[in-house]
Amino acid sequence: MARTAEGGSIRSETSGTQCIHRSFAVVRMLASGSAEGEKLVDIAATLNLSHPTAHRILKALETEGIVERARGSRRYQLGSEAAWLGLAAFNRFPITRLASPVLDRLVETVGDSVFLSVPSHNDSVYADRRFGAYPVQARRVAVGARRPLGVSVAGRTIMAYMKPERLEAVLRENADRYGDWRCTESQILCGAEGAREQGFLCSDSVVNSERRVLAVPVRDIVGHPVAAISVIAARPRLGGERISRLVPLLREAARDISTALHRQAIPG
């Protein structure tokens, strides 16, 4: 009887842990999805969940305020409680605060939109942005917007400095997501290898063919990637000659953030 009880307890713990993982997968999908929200059928199919399981998870998250129905539709989107939890955690992660004055200085010099992207699980997240004085700016890229790691130029730059086993895990776990962004594993690896060889990556935007992105990594004291700084501009504004002028500026900004993070980590 003891063995049965113990086995039942183990199964219960496993089931509970699995439910937590699945719930967070749903939350991440909604966070990286469209502003209009996602349909139950699409959530279930994307996450390989049965329809009843996806429905139970969504109802529980809806009860907690983490998820809500988009007004006037049957789609689901993140709820207000997710926003408040995010705000509560925001100040515990210093990179955005430490990077803020660096981005202010950089955008004054560059004139185009400047972004800070950070890795989050298997995604990259736009953590902060600045708009420059040039009339055409990348205003549709919102703070908090998520992309599967490897989709964006910034994401590939971050992946360039990951440990091989972590890089392989990201590619494997995101494999089913890349098709939605018209990306292939070979394209992502090619971009990451280019970023590692050059120390920067410049490529056309995945979501807007009229935009070009230039990104450099931000690394911690041991070389691990903690962020990427990128400039997003109209394609004619990111040609070869200007790239050669901007890369040192972005590298200097990345070093300033890395130094600030290092100083923050030293007690006293």
- What whole-number distance in Å separates Cα of residue 203 and Cα of residue 153? 7
- What whole-number distance in Å separates Cα of residue 260 and Cα of residue 95? 9
If residue 119 lies in a helix (H) or strand (E), which one and from where to where?
strand 113-120
Q: What Cα–Cα distance (Å) separates residue 31 from each residue in 125, 144, 183?
A: 10, 8, 20
Q: Count how many residues are written for the chain.
A: 268
Q: Write down the domain spans for the chain.
A: 2-86, 93-265
pTM, rounded to two decimals:
0.77
pLDDT-based confidence at 201, cuts 50/70/90?
A: very high
Cα–chain-centroid distance for residue 71? 26
CATH of domain 2-86: 1.10.10.10
Kind of pairing between the strands at 211-219 and 201-204: antiparallel
The pLDDT value recorded for residue 90 is: 65
Q: Residue 114's beta-bridge partner residues?
A: 130, 231
Rg of the chain taking only CA atoms, in angstroms: 20
pLDDT-based confidence at 9, cuts 50/70/90?
A: low
Is 72 exposed, middle or buried (CB count within 10 Å of its CB: 0-12, 13-18, 19+)? Answer: exposed
Mean pLDDT of 5-32: 75
Contacts (Cβ under 8 Å, ≥6 apart) of 149: 119, 122, 123, 124, 155, 158, 159, 170, 174
CATH of domain 93-265: 3.30.450.40
Instruction: Count the neighbouring beta carbons within 10 Å of the beta carbon of residue 171.
Output: 18
Q: Where are the alpha helices (DSSP H) in 64-163?
A: 80-90, 95-110, 153-159
Say what percent of the chain tops pLDDT 70.
92
Mean pLDDT of 36-65: 92
Q: Residue 38's beta-bridge partner residues?
A: 76
Q: Give the tens place of pLDDT for each residue, 75-108.
A: 999 998 988 887 777 666 789 999 999 999 999 9
Q: Where are the alpha helices (DSSP H) in the chain?
A: 2-32, 40-46, 51-63, 80-90, 95-110, 153-159, 164-178, 185-198, 240-265
Is 99 exposed, middle or buried (CB count within 10 Å of its CB: 0-12, 13-18, 19+)? Answer: buried
